[in-house]
């Protein structure tokens, strides 16, 4: 096994750990539409790698990466839901999310081991960028739609009248 493969695999596992920690902390804060839709725009800057000609995959490789990413996005959609607490929208914590993220990372590593010798590292990096982007965009669109649906529910519900004491206040 090459040193580059070990370093990139360890880096990917470190980054996945950081993502899991960030997601677990983010769940404690209310979700916002902006927090949902901005990550794909931030990630899109990574497409600048394709300015470097050796990082450009062939049309078939692009199609494969996009298809696999799109399929993986359904796993993320299946484990993402929202809830309303205190008239605010929160992402509901999912124990499966961390396992799915680690599972996807393992699958990515296995794919990398299988095709890593047949495809140039720069092209492989481009393919994995496209896979991740194709996974992120549909998931975030799904989240944005679900968020807007809950936002409409909140707008239809009357706000509790604070002038009337509730049975639960002391």
- Whole-angstrom Cα distance, residue 81 to residue 78? 8
166 confidence band (pLDDT: 50, 70, 90): very low
- CA-based max dimension of the chain: 70
Provide the pLDDT confidence category of residue 1 given band limits of 50, 70 and 90.
Answer: low
Q: Looking at per-residue confidence, does 131 or 167 come out higher?
A: 131
Note the pLDDT of residue 170.
36
pLDDT at 160: 66
- The pLDDT-based confidence of 8 (bands split at 50, 70, 90) is confident
Concatenated DSSP letters for 48-80? GGGGSGGG---HHHHHHHHHHHHHHHHHHHHT-
- The stretch 28-49 carries a mean pLDDT of 92
CA distance 138 to 133: 9
Q: What percent of the chain shows pLDDT beyond 90?
A: 44
- Which percentage of the chain shows pLDDT scores above 70? 93
**Long-range contacts of 4-8, Cβ-Cβ distance < 8 Å, separation of 24 or more:** 4/121, 5/112, 5/113, 5/116, 8/112
Average pLDDT, the chain: 85
CA distance 162 to 54: 63
Structure confidence by residue, pLDDT tens digits, 54-83: 999 999 999 999 999 999 999 889 989 999
pLDDT band at 161 (very low <50, low <70, confident <90, very high): low
Is 133's pLDDT higher than 80? yes
Instruction: Say yes or no to pLDDT of 109 above 60.
Output: yes
Q: Please report, for the chain, how many H helices and E strands are present, in that order.
A: 5, 2
The Cα–Cα gap between 30 and 13 comes to 27
Give the mean pLDDT of 115-130.
85
pLDDT higher at 133 or 109: 133
């Amino acid at each position: 096994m090459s040193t580059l493969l070990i370093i990139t695999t360890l880096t990917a596992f470190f980054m996945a750990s950081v993502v899991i920690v960030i997601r677990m902390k983010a769940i404690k804060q209310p979700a916002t539409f902006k927090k949902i839709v901005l990550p794909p725009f931030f990630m899109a800057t990574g497409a600048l790698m394709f300015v470097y000609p050796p990082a450009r995959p062939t049309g078939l490789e692009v199609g494969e990466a996009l298809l696999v990413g799109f399929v993986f996005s359904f796993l993320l959609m299946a484990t993402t839901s929202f809830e309303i607490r205190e008239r605010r929208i929160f992402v509901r914590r999912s124990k499966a999310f961390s396992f799915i993220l680690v599972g996807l990372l393992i699958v990515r590593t296995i794919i990398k081991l299988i095709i890593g010798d047949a495809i140039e590292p720069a092209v492989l990096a481009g393919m994995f960028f496209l896979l991740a982007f194709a996974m992120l965009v549909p998931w975030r669109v799904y989240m944005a739609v679900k968020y807007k649906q809950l936002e409409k529910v909140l707008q239809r519900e009357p706000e509790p009248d604070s002038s009337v004491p509730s049975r639960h206040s002391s």
